[in-house]
Every structure is written in structure tokens, then in C-alpha cells.
Amino acid sequence: MDRRSTLYNAPAVVDGSSMTLRFLGSGGAFSRQYGTTCSLVTFPGGERWLIDCGRQAPDQLWDAGLDWHEIDGQIVTHVHGDHIFGLEDFAFQRYYQASGEVSAIMCGGPRPRFLAHSAVRDEVWESLAASLRYLKVGDNPRAGTFDSYFEMIEPHAWEQPGQNPWRHSETFTLNGHQIVARESEHVPGKPSCSLEIEVGQGDRIAWWSGDCTVDAGFLAAIEPRTTIYFHDCTFTDYPGQVHGAFSLLEKLPKSVRDKMVLMHHEDDIEDHRAQVEALGFRVGLPDQVYDLVTGRRVD
């Protein structure tokens, strides 16, 4: 029996219009117990996309019983190792190898799609180019480009720059759903985005923080149309905070807390769980599945 088949626990099927998010890993950059945060989004038509693809993603996907060739695309929030270091493995395997009915890119197979804010995309290629550009075409040994490996999804709308030189937000269409990549405050001066993922009918969204500090006013403003929030969380306060400090998250309105799943947390999350759940938060853990339309956990 395939080892993966004994490990794979398929997400519950709610109905044909559901969208689900499954945590493959839910911990922070240095987590050993919960794995770095990587999530599998399944669209109503069955397409599977990853939100961020960190250094542990290849093993996380294997443990979930999935192959790289079963992933239709990648959504990236920003460039740090726990969010993109699995992309080289993904790109090379899809380029050189076939699996099932999916041919290798080099033999005419489909390129997986890629979605990220243009400022983030530039940094992703800057990080990956040192390895991925070495494709020999004719006499050129460095003919590889980002487009050699991925089909880029381009934004169809955007907001003008705010405090930074890049666009404040970019809006994409993916499988009939609008996705807004909106700049957020993470490391000062670094492109980093949260995601607003259209779900169901109307303007309802699921919100994903990527990595960012707590913007209480914004989170409260979008609450009426938000089915579920996923926010990175830390219990360590320090000057120059770059993540969602729990000391600020706990002050959010109850209507926001009741919809929020805390992820990208440290390995000490169980030490704080009683306090977290008493305030209405949920704790994101590997293999949990959430219906993005209803905001409910369904696994």
C-alpha cells in the first residue's frame, strides 16, 4: 500500500459550492511541532492551490497524500523562507518530471499558475533565479525565466501606492473568484500582503493575514462581509513587532474574535490555549479543514 494513502485524510465535502482550506502546517517560522504554515485551498471546481510554500511544504504535501502534480497553482504572500523555500522543489519537479496524466513542462505539460502581488512576485524571482534561470536554450545556459516554470496571473485592477512605492493592492480573478492581495505591515519596507478571497455569493470574503501586525481598525471594518479570518499570532512582545501580537489580538471586538483562527504560532500554543479559546478564538492545527463559505471547521 502507498504510504501516503494511510496518512491522507480527505477534507469533508460540504456541497458542490464549498471552498475549503486545509492546514498542512500551522506553525511559525521556527516551529518544529506544527510545521511552518502552508495551506491547501480547494475551489468548488476541485482545483487545488497552496497559500505559501515554505521549506517544509514538500514533506507536508507528501504526508497529506498529495503530489506536486495535483497542485494547480501557488499563491504567495511574501518572501521569507518559511513561505517560499519549497517553490524550487515544486518548480523543478513540475518542469522535469511527469506524474500520472500530467506531463513534464519540458515535454509540453501544463505550467502551474502563480498569483502574487507584483512587488512580491519580483522578490520571489529574485530569490529563485539563482537556481531556476539555468535552463539551456540553444547556446544560452541561463535562459530560464519565471515564465519558464509558471503561468502568471496578472491583476485586472489595483489601488495606487500608499506609503510604499508599490501598489497598495492588486485584484486578481481566480476560478471565477476575486482575490485581493493588499499590502500589510510586516517587516518595514518589505512587500508583504494579506489576502481577501471572495467566497460564495456577493462580496463575502475569507481573510488571510500572511504575516503582519494587528490592524484592528481594518479588521473591524471588514467584519460584516468576512466569513473567517486567519491571523498569524505570537505571544512574545518585543520592540519592532512584525507579527500579530496576542496582546493586541485579544482586544479585538468579539464579533471579530469569534471568526478568527490563530495560525503561524509558536510551539508553546498549548500553554495559552485556554486563554485563547475563552476569548472566542480558534487555534489552527495541521490537518484541520475549514469551509471558507460558512467559516466553520468541517474535518
pLDDT higher than threshold 60 for residue 3: no
Residue 10 lies in a domain: yes
pLDDT, tens digit, for every residue of 232-289?
999 999 899 999 999 999 999 999 999 999 999 999 999 999 999 999 999 999 999 9
Contacts of 180 (CB under 8 A, 6+ apart): 169, 170, 171, 172, 195, 196
pLDDT at residue 15, as a whole number:
54
Q: Where are the alpha helices (DSSP H) in the chain?
A: 57-63, 81-84, 87-96, 118-132, 146-149, 216-221, 246-249, 254-257, 269-278
Higher pLDDT, 296 or 4: 296
Residue 299 lies in a domain: no
Give pTM, 2 decimals.
0.93
Residue 287 lies in a domain: yes
The secondary element (H helix, E strand) that includes residue 164 is none
**Nearest one of 187, 232, 190, 188 to 208, comparing CA atoms:** 232
Domain count, the chain: 1
pLDDT higher than threshold 70 for residue 18: yes
- Full residue range of the structural domain in which residue 198 is found: 3-291
Quote the radius of gyration of the chain (alpha carbons, Å): 19
Q: Where are the alpha helices (DSSP H) in 86-189?
A: 87-96, 118-132, 146-149
Residue 298 lies in a domain: no
CATH code of the domain in which 18 resides: 3.60.15.10
Residue 297 lies in a domain: no
